[in-house]
Amino acid sequence: MEIASCSILNTLRLSSTASNNSNNTFCNCYTPRNPYLVPSFSSIFPRNSTTSPGKCLHFNRFVAFSSPSSSDNQNPPQELAVLLEVEGVLMDAYRVGNRQAFNVAFQKLGLDCANWKEPVYLDLVRKCSGDEERMLNLYFNQIGWPTSLPTNEKGPFIKSVLREKKNALDEFVMSKSLPLRPGVEDFIDDAYQEGIPVVILTAYSKSGDKIAGSIIEKLGHERISKVKIIGNQEVKQSSYGQLVSHEGLSLGLNEQLAKEAIKAVSAEKQKIAEEVASMLKLSVEIDTSSSESLGKTVAALRAGAEYVGVPFQSCVLIAGSQSGVSGAEQIGMPCIVLRSSLTTRAEFPSAKATMDGFGGADLTISKLRGRRWS
């Protein structure tokens, strides 16, 4: 990070009486080259009014009570905090409802001959490494395509099946029939009993606020009151979120052009990867995440640490996605991957450990306490 004409510490130590002029000061004095490497601000910034003691964090249809943080009570910071992702961590929806969602999609599209029993589904997953488009192509190549479907319409047909399948899976997730991952409730209760803050991150959830909210509600109101939920609004209201929101104003023309170039290159990489995978009929995984997506993840991680008053290096992210792993690696936050049906064969070299679930020989609070990652 570069500092233009004045020290960042001098900027951040402005008294509250000068807060009305702070925005201009940031723009003139602070020129971040890499917004992800900004230091932790929970101990420097005055805590935002939205995080005052007893403030309720609103998340769609339910409310999680935010108790005073340790910094509010002027106590030493907690030695540990746990950040949980939603997809793959609180619930492994693909393991429980993915096959059923495909069958619902087949029915809605009038494909009476298509019905995936569990052995068929597992065989397709194994042969195609979980690539659902390839699974459908392989399946219909074996049993035959709909007779009324023109050859040049196979691509759009596959897309329509996947679209209906996603809608069906979303409905499954929002229903009461799909359970949370075994042991996650006991894990949260154990953390609460030992005074370890637990944060649930929804800000970069791919499923969206509505689906993420439905999953979290399965924890029950009493357990929800023991955790802090960090969505997009909480990230924006955090000290880090307010700082980086000035980024566009403080960047010079060259920096802005560089950011736009990164986005364009990322999009082109994604396009090429899809074309190559289609031509070779291979499952190709290329990290094409944009700097904007990574920045959103990093902001959520920093905001989660800030809201519980724990340095981000002392937090542990329990991730179920590559985006979370990448964000944690970017800022040096320890990360443990909880495998799901989507990541069963994936490798995460930057993670401290990869585990199969909660409790027993896998992830427990005592292991986190002792930093026993393996």
Could you read off the pLDDT of 10-67 as tens digits, one per residue?
A: 333 333 334 444 343 333 333 334 444 444 433 333 334 343 333 334 444 333 333 4
How many Cα neighbours within 13 Å face the side chain of 151? 0
Q: Which residue has the higher pLDDT, 221 or 266?
A: 221
pLDDT of residue 285: 44
pLDDT in tens, 256-304: 555 555 556 555 666 666 666 666 655 444 444 456 788 899 999 999 9
- Give domain limits for the chain: 81-92+177-247+287-370, 94-174
Query: How far is 10 from 240, CA to CA, in rounded Å?
Result: 17
* Sequence-ordered strand ranges (E) for the chain: 2-3, 30-31, 56-59, 62-65, 81-84, 198-201, 228-230, 315-319, 335-338, 353-355
Strand-pair category, 62-65 with 81-84: unpaired
* Rounded alpha-carbon distances, angstroms, from residue 19 to 6, 40, 323: 17, 20, 35
Strand partners, 2: 31
29: left (phi over 0), alpha (psi -120 to 50) or beta: alpha
pLDDT of residue 220: 94
Is the pLDDT at 219 greater than 50? The verdict is yes
How many Cα neighbours within 13 Å face the side chain of 231? 17
Query: How far is 326 from 316, CA to CA, in rounded Å?
Result: 14
Strand partners, 198: 82
Query: Quick one: 75 exposed, middle or buried, by C-beta within 10 A (0-12, 13-18, 19+)?
Result: exposed
How far the first Cα of the chain sits from its last, in Å, is: 34
Q: How far is CA 89 from the centre of its chain?
A: 10
How many Cα neighbours within 13 Å face the side chain of 275? 6
Structure tokens at 360: 């027993």
pLDDT in tens, 144-155: 999 888 888 999
Percent of the chain with pLDDT over 70: 66
Residue 281's SS3 state is coil
Structure tokens at 40: 């932790």
Query: How far is 57 from 97, CA to CA, in rounded Å?
Result: 30
Structure tokens at 186: 């006991």
Structure tokens at 50: 């939205």
Amino acid at residue number 157 = F
pTM over 0.75: no
How many Cα neighbours within 13 Å face the side chain of 115? 4
Is the pLDDT at 332 greater than 70? The verdict is yes
Query: How far is 75 from 13, CA to CA, in rounded Å?
Result: 21
Fold classified for 94-174: DNA polymerase; domain 1 (1.10.150)
Helix (H) or strand (E) holding 345: none
Q: Which residue has the higher pLDDT, 66 or 89?
A: 89
Secondary structure of the chain: what % helix, strand, coil (to 5)? 50, 10, 40
pLDDT of residue 66: 38
* 214 and 61 Cβ atoms separated by less than 8 Å: no
Structure tokens at 300: 């959520």
237 Cβ contact partners less than 8 Å away, ≥ 6 residues apart: 48, 50, 51
φ and ψ at residue 127, rounded to 5 degrees = -70, -30
Query: How far is 28 from 366, CA to CA, in rounded Å?
Result: 47
How many Cα neighbours within 13 Å face the side chain of 252? 8
Let me know how long the chain is: 374
Is the pLDDT at 167 greater than 50? The verdict is yes
CATH homologous superfamily of 81-92+177-247+287-370 equals HAD superfamily/HAD-like (3.40.50.1000)
